Structure 1
Amino acid sequence: MNTLTLEVTSLADGLAAFQSAWSSGGADDGARIGFASPELLWKVLTAKRWELLRTMTGQGPLALREIARRVERDVKAVHADVHALIDAGIIQRGADGRFEFPYDAVHVDFMLKAA
């Protein structure tokens, strides 16, 4: 299964994980995108954007209007959300202009600790 892991991690921990993967010959541990805080993660991954990911999972490249039709939302609003997900590295845009979420699953990983 091709899984994307969204995690809350410090820059130092993210760099250490990269260095470990690099030195082990790039063993495939799946794609990972790190966020500096849970608040930033949830700012990027809103409920509407989560719905877009759920709708796009396993569907291959889709035109913006098709995505909007499938989630029954306005094209302009979907456009803004898709571009926020592109900026975060979660969605890709192909040369043909269509958008793709190239994963079969999403795993969100963070720990809440006492203050």
Structure 2
Amino acid sequence: MSTVTIAVESLDAVKQRVAAAFTGRKQGARITFPSHELMWKILTPKRWAILKAMTGAGALGVREIARLVERDVKGVHTDLQALAKAGVIDRDETKYVFPYDAIHVDFTLKAA
């Protein structure tokens, strides 16, 4: 099973993981955001529903995804474009892909 970790990490933490990867240590698939605010701006509840529907499903067309999440095609298309632009999902010529079977979310909220 392929699992992606979605996390909030500083630039320094990302640089440390990249350096570790260059030494041969496996890092696993990760999607990182520099702040909680940006993560929640990109991963809205409706977009989470799209990711849930796409997890483990392979390549899907916009209409298929809209049917799975029970939403209109135009709104789903807008959300898919935002997810693709943010690098959360991939897109080929006609379909969208979220190439993972599971999602692990990893972040800590601290006092302001």
| TM-score bucket (shorter structure) | over 0.9
Corresponding residue for residue 37 of structure 2: 39
**Tell me, what secondary structure is at the counterpart of 2:111?**
coil
User: TM-score by structure 1 length?
Assistant: 0.91
**Tell me, what secondary structure is at the counterpart of 1:84?**
helix
Unaligned runs of 5+ in 1: none
What is the aligned-residue identity percentage? 55
Q: After superposition, what is the alpha-carbon deviation per residue over 1:42-98, rounded to whole angstroms, capped at 9, x for unaligned?
A: 111000000001111111111111111111111110011011111121111124x11
Unaligned runs of 5+ in 2: none
RMSD: 1.2
Runs ≥4 residues deviating over 2 A = none
User: TM-score by structure 2 length?
Assistant: 0.93
Provide the C-alpha distance between the structure 1 equivalents of 2:56 and 2:105, rounded to a whole number of angstroms. Answer: 18
Corresponding residue for residue 15 of structure 1: 15
Corresponding residue for residue 83 of structure 2: 85
